[in-house]
């Protein structure tokens, strides 16, 4: 067993923990902004740990770069959609409707 053999599952468990925390926040938080905050922040950290585990598992620099690109795309998409959804939630709240 090398160090990577312990590190990969450890990173996966940490990633899953953040995912679980994000999902819990999505279910338990009261308003749209808080839920978005849980979803985009915690889940993207979780995805980062899972990506790190995957990169270590394959152990190739080229693959690691591709996985890093995937994570960056996910971050950008999460940021942009979260901003759109928050704006939508804000205007909806100002109008007094729920959609």
Binding site for another protein (CB under 8 A): 73, 76-77, 79-80, 83-84, 87, 91
Least Å distance, CB 25 to another protein, is 18
Q: Output 3 or 71, the one with its CB closest to another protein.
A: 71
CA-CA-CA-CA dihedral for 19, 24, 26, 31, to nearest 10: -140
Nearest to 18 by CA among 51, 47, 52, 61: 47
Least Å distance, CB 41 to another protein, is 16
Least Å distance, CB 73 to another protein, is 8
Answer yes or no: are the C-beta atoms of 54 and 67 closer than 8 Å: yes
């Amino acid at each position: 067993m090398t160090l990577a053999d312990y590190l990969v599952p450890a990173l996966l468990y940490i990633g899953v923990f953040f995912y679980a925390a994000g999902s819990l926040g999505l279910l338990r938080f009261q308003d749209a902004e808080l839920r978005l905050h849980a979803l985009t922040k915690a889940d993207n950290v979780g995805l980062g740990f899972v990506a790190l585990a995957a990169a270590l598992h394959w152990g190739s620099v080229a693959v690691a770069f591709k996985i890093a690109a995937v994570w960056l795309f996910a971050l950008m998409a999460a940021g942009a959609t979260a901003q759109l959804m928050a704006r939508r939630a804000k205007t909806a709240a100002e109008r007094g409707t729920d959609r």
